[in-house]
A and B are shown apart, each in its own frame.
Chain A
Amino acid sequence: MAKQRSPIPLDAAFSCPAGELLALVGPSGSGKTTLLRTIAGLYQPEQGHVACLGSTWLATERRYSLTPQQRKIGIVFQDYALFPHLTALANVQLALGHLPHSERTLRAKQWLANVRLEGLEKRFPSELSGGQRQRVALARALAREPQVLLLDEPFSAVDQVTRRRLQRELALLRQQISIPIILVTHDLEEATALADQICVLHNGVSLQQGSPEALFRRPASPLVARLLDRHNIFEGEVTSVNGQKRLQWGDRYLEVAVGLSDLPQGERVTWYLPPSDIVLHRRDRPSQGERENPVAATVHEMVVLGGITSISLRVLHGDMLRFDIATHAARRNQLALGEQVYVSLLAAGIHIMSGKHVAMSSRHMSSNNLSSNSQSSTNMPSHHKRNLS
């Protein structure tokens, strides 16, 4: 039955310790929402394992699965799924089934006050703004005192200003609750701003999990880099110069801080450089780090976006370096199309992606994460596997 209904093959594993926020990011159709529904018990993958607070919620190998009612989850749906025939207060009250009747009204009022909706208890969802609805949904999700909070693109249905405010509120709320929070989003900026950990998904496969910083500096594969909207991905070859391993890139022999020593000479590799590790040399006077991998290039493209200028440089063999600098810095350096400039590629920033073993290394990473977190009793590891035959 599940075979016909599911067009998405899944092979994903991730974990989230208590008090942390894990963002599942990926293009639409990458299985983010399906994974969230699996945690909630609304979807049953062929093979899967979900555990929270040390208790198992789903273990398909044992044919064990708790119902959504038995799992203590709070979920905010993309369209909030508020009950249209119930007031804001009644929507929250409904999730307080674990309390005696006499306490429910008071607690529901408290939850609404927590999300700054006092005075709007009697309103129906149709009488609330998008942002207010989202807050009611959040209050309802938290009212259950869940062991994990699941957020399915909770900011996608509101305008930009409201979104910023709600994101801020979520960041503040996180300081009050100490449960794992899993956020599904396709917005990288949102994930970077809110998440402690990001798990990158593609076609149902979890490619890499790590902190935003780690992911943006050291994406596990060209695919991850592409999904994270990274540029500066190049091909190179491992060579040796005076007994030292170097990365040959065009006619340059680049120093690399880590990752090169284990690779055999002659191996072709894909490498990545974060834009922050491209240092533009000042023209009037030499700057620090000038000796580190200096590269000559011509300015190919300059796009001014307010205070930031996005610059593309073409190096001799045709590859394109892309980075952003402050617009005033671009002016001071008198950058103009066709001009020749020098940049340093910082050796510490160069990240060698071993193209062949990508999947394995990312799997290894996430399982490391899982075991390192499993000492604390409040982690939320979940593992799903599904193959389409």
Chain B
Amino acid sequence: MDWTALSVSLRLAGLTCLFLLPVGVWLGRALATAHFRGKGLCEALVALPLVLPPTVLGFYLLQQFGRDAPLGSVWASFTGGGLNFTFSGILLASLIANLPFAIQPIQRAFENVPTNLREAAWCSGLSPWQTFLRIELPLVWPGILSAIALTFAHTLGEFGVILMVGGAIDGETRTLAIAIYDRVQAFDEQGAARMSALLLLVSLTTLGLVYGLAGRRRWVRG
């Protein structure tokens, strides 16, 4: 069992969720409620990682992360370090690869909140911020939960993008999914089996917890 790889994976998944959650809520709500020019393009960009082969996404990110590329040089000027083959690099890649998983469930949830509930809240004297906290957030909560679950589980299982931009540096960029691949390459089937079982367990538990919680709301029925 590669505990270091597990720790990298959990850290990566946790931080990806943490950073993407506010983005998902903000962008998901904007895409659901606002009407603006270029909304279709914006939605297409968000969904792109769903259909793009991970290696293609990884390839472009690898190019952008280089010290000569705009993104890489900006990063280097702020942090002094590079992005390729670092934890920061795979985190950034993971944030981009998980955009659809974080945004789409939340967007769907906001779309299902009837417009006149917001209006009823305003007419009851609630400010837009209070309306968001007391009406919208409780109603879209299941969407937020599934966004977290999907992002977390998907990050644990992400392979292609991480391998492209991160390689497999022990303790830095070697995630559990990559470690499994390495074990198989080294004909260590037992090690691969244990880690696969663990990944399966973690993913199933996460999803089970989330869907179980989401289903426990009395007001949904009837």
Contact = CB atoms under 8 A, between A and B. Distances in A.
Interface of A: 40-42, 67-69, 73-75, 77, 79, 81-86, 94-95, 97-98, 124-127, 140-141, 144
Contacts of B139: 84-85
A81 B117 contact: yes
Nearest to A128: B222
A90 B138 CA distance: 14
Interface in B116-154: 116-117, 119-127, 134-135, 138-139
Interface in B207-222: 217-222
A127 B125 contact: no
B138 to A, nearest CB: 5
A77 B115 CA distance: 11
A77 B122 CA distance: 13
Contact of B119 (A68, A74, A126): A68
Given A84-B139, A97-B125, A124-B222, 20 more contacts: A40-B123, A41-B122, A42-B119, A42-B122, A67-B122, A68-B119, A69-B123, A69-B126, A83-B120, A83-B135, A85-B138, A85-B217, A85-B219, A94-B121, A94-B126, A94-B134, A126-B222, A127-B222, A141-B123, A144-B124
Contacts of A81: 114, 116-117, 119-120
Q: Is the interface of A mostly helix, strand, loop or mixed?
A: loop
Contacts of A95: 124-125
B62 to A, nearest CB: 43
A190 B220 CA distance: 34
Nearest to A125: B219
Nearest to A77: B116
5 contacts: A40-B123, A68-B119, A68-B123, A69-B123, A69-B125
Contact of B219 (A67, A74, A126): A126
A97 B218 CA distance: 26
A81 B115 CA distance: 9
B159 to A, nearest CB: 39
Interface size class of B (residues with CB under 8 A): 20 to 34
A83 B220 contact: no
B117 to A, nearest CB: 5
A26 to B, nearest CB: 21
A84 B136 CA distance: 11
A95 B122 CA distance: 9
B126 A97 contact: yes
Contacts of B220: 84, 126
A141 B123 CA distance: 8
- Residue with the highest number of chain A CB atoms closer than 10 Å, among B126, B218, B219: B219
Per CB-CB distance, the 10 closest pairs between chain A and chain B, nearest first, are A126-B222, A95-B124, A81-B120, A124-B219, A68-B122, A81-B116, A97-B125, A85-B138, A75-B123, A68-B123
A141 B119 CA distance: 12
Contacts of A68: 119, 122-123
A100 to B, nearest CB: 14
A69 B127 contact: yes
Contacts of B121: 83, 94
